[in-house]
Amino acid sequence: MELILYNTKTKKKEKFEPINKNEVGFYSCGPTVYNYAHLGNMRTYIFNDILYRTLVSAGYRVKHVINITDVGHLTDDGDQGDDKMEEGAKREGKTVEEIAQYYTDEFKKDWNKLNLHKPQVWCKATEHINEMQKMIGKLERNGFTYQSGGNVYFDTSKFKDYTKFAKLKLENLESSSRVEQDDNKRNFSDFVLWFTLGNSKFGSSHSMKWDSPWGIGYPGWHIECSAMSMKYLGEQFDIHTGGIDHINVHHTNEIAQSEASTNKKPWVKYWLHGNFLVLKDGKMSKSSGDFLRVDLLEKKGYDPLVFRYFCLNTHYRKELSFSWDAIENSKLGFEKLKTKIIEIKKMNNQYNDKNNNQSIEKSKEYENLFFESVFDDLNVPKSLGIMWNLINDKEISDDNKFKTLLKFDEILGLRFNEMKEEILDLPVEVIDLLEKRKKSRMEKNWEESDKYRDEIKELGFLVKDNGLDQLVDKI
């Protein structure tokens, strides 16, 4: 089956053909670990995860590299403001290293809760300062840098195709800029490769610092992704992903410095970008009052996989609106799915040999349709529709359904195999009251049965009746 992906570089869907047959080099911009990741960030990683699973299912050996930014990312992507890490440390009265470790651990916890695959390489910016300095040295030798006000800048006017990737109109960018301009720059779009301390305007009180040929200081943000991706994936590789907010500045700068360092060798073949998760009043951010993260979902009683299911229902290139109503709806959908899967797992619906062949054939048809849409630029929402059709098809045996659903779950990652009826551990008092209540109901003594219901409720359990059966749920 052909895999088709939308490439931001060419602005169209293309057949995926890796540089080396059967192998895929895949780099994703990771988190800046100065705070928790919000659900918008996690939506991008869910999209990365679906892409990874799709590549694996297409038979490729995938090497996925994700960075952890623990230095150099300033509060404005255009190299202005304070370092986010230093800001986080100040906010919490801790060292930058403590902040980085804590938020990296928290990020990985969220990662696992959303059932995201384990990348082959997690790489930390602070452990690759040497690689970054080497790359800056190359850029210097190739004539793409200048020093000004103590810092080393990339001269974007020297890189002819600078605006091509994002179809940038520099004049517009300049006039819409909200931040104070750095007077040391020769061109508005130039960016810092190396900040030196002592520069009066930026970085004077930075606690993370390294020696360098340009003075003691720290790297700019963009250089880390170029240096680390090349270290692990080579000077040319297949896929680079990130959020759409990275197209105009971060990825544009990554391309310029990477290709300038290798004398214009085309760097990345396919660029894929995930769209935003938005709130009613705009893009999700960590500074807005409503800081949404996986932990908050759990506190409100939602399984993190409900959020995963919510994201899977919208194509990764479309904007997705977040609201608690929408999450509640997804929860209902996810629970319905869970109930169906548990029912199918019981394998009540079996067929004789003759019908079984038909059932196998039909489930194979669904399987083809499912993967066809996944392979068409990760159209998972369409695949979910096909999954529901399979579930509701009465001509397929439970056995074949379940086998097919497990194949679907290799892409969806909703843990079908682990779904089971939740058996409540009831306290003896509750069991006792339930027995008494059953007796009073058989005797049609409603007053007494209501009294037992209230007593059970006081112990934290809710009783619902289904005929003579009493269904119990935790409150």
Residues forming contacts to Zn ion in the complex (CB under 5 A) are 29, 225
In the bound state with Zn ion, the residue whose beta carbon lies nearer, of 58 and 233, is 233
Determine the Cα angle at 139 with ends 17 and 129, to 5°: 85
In the bound state with Zn ion, the residue whose beta carbon lies nearer, of 88 and 220, is 220
Q: How far is the CB of 48 from Zn ion (least distance, A)?
A: 13
Question: What sign results for the dihedral spanned by CA atoms 382, 383, 386, 391?
Answer: negative
Any long-range contacts for 352-356 (C-beta under 8 Å, 24+ apart)? 355/395, 355/397, 356/397, 356/400
Please state, in angstroms and rounded to a whole number, the distance separating the CA atoms of residues 398 and 342.
Answer: 10
Structure tokens, 473: 């749920």
In the bound state with Zn ion, the residue whose beta carbon lies nearer, of 71 and 225, is 225
Q: How far is the CB of 455 from Zn ion (least distance, A)?
A: 59
DSSP secondary structure code for residue 36 in this structure: P
In the bound state with Zn ion, the residue whose beta carbon lies nearer, of 29 and 62, is 29
In the bound state with Zn ion, the residue whose beta carbon lies nearer, of 96 and 268, is 268
Q: How far is the CB of 416 from Zn ion (least distance, A)?
A: 33
How do 121-124 and 191-196 pair as beta strands? Answer: unpaired
Q: How far is the CB of 250 from Zn ion (least distance, A)?
A: 5
Q: How far is the CB of 273 from Zn ion (least distance, A)?
A: 12
How do 61-68 and 74-76 pair as beta strands? Answer: unpaired
Q: How far is the CB of 27 from Zn ion (least distance, A)?
A: 8
In the bound state with Zn ion, the residue whose beta carbon lies nearer, of 49 and 77, is 77
In the bound state with Zn ion, the residue whose beta carbon lies nearer, of 113 and 240, is 240
Secondary structure (3-state) at 194: strand
Question: What sign results for the dihedral spanned by CA atoms 382, 384, 385, 386?
Answer: positive
**What interhelical angle do 252-261 and 222-233 show, nearest 10?**
50
Q: How far is the CB of 166 from Zn ion (least distance, A)?
A: 14
Residue partners of 36: CB distance under 8 A and separation at least 6:
103, 106, 107, 110, 286, 291, 293, 295
The β-bridge partners of 24 are 62
Q: Cβ(250)–Cβ(77) under 8 Å?
A: yes
In the bound state with Zn ion, the residue whose beta carbon lies nearer, of 251 and 437, is 251
Of 221, 285, 178, which is closest to residue 82 (Cα–Cα)?
221
DSSP secondary structure code for residue 443 in this structure: T
Q: Cβ(221)–Cβ(207) under 8 Å?
A: no
In the bound state with Zn ion, the residue whose beta carbon lies nearer, of 225 and 412, is 225
Please state, in angstroms and rounded to a whole number, the distance separating the CA atoms of residues 140 and 163.
Answer: 21
Q: How far is the CB of 186 from Zn ion (least distance, A)?
A: 24
Q: Cβ(84)–Cβ(73) under 8 Å?
A: yes
